[in-house]
Amino acid sequence: MPKKIKKKINWADDSVFDKSRAIIYIEYADDCFVFKEKANELLSFVQERFPEWNFVIVKNMYGQIVPRPESFEVSFSQNARMHPEVLWSGINKGPPRADKFPKTFEEFIPKISNLLKQI
């Protein structure tokens, strides 16, 4: 069965742009459920920590890129019109596979807080 590709939305387009919609970009290997699970956990974590913001997660550029093997890389931008900054890259980490992921998402909080204040 072919993979379902999520429709790419241009969040920077005037028709959908919202300056309070932050974007989380994640490149992750899709050959193992753990990578996808970690991506979803990150979104939930950030939504809980910053409830006043709207977040969109863009996984593997809506399925339009082939992720690097064993990759887990997280970038973040305050909104769709700002350049994303890399928060975490596990691409050159591991084995073991656990090293591909941050020990805790808590380490992202100071950087995300700083990026969200840049209006």
Cα–Cα distance measured from residue 109 to residue 97, given in angstroms and rounded to the nearest whole number: 23
Q: Please, what is the average pLDDT of the chain?
A: 86
**71-113, pLDDT tens digit by residue?**
899 999 988 888 899 999 998 988 888 898 999 999 999 999 9
Q: Residue 7 above 80 pLDDT?
A: no
Identify the CA nearest to 30 among candidates 76, 73, 56, 66. Answer: 66
pLDDT surpassing 80 at residue 3:
no
Whether the predicted model's global pTM rises above the 0.75 cut: yes
Rounded Cα distance, 19 and 68, in Å: 31
Could you give all domains of the chain from N- to C-terminal order, each with its CATH number? 21-113 (3.40.30.10)
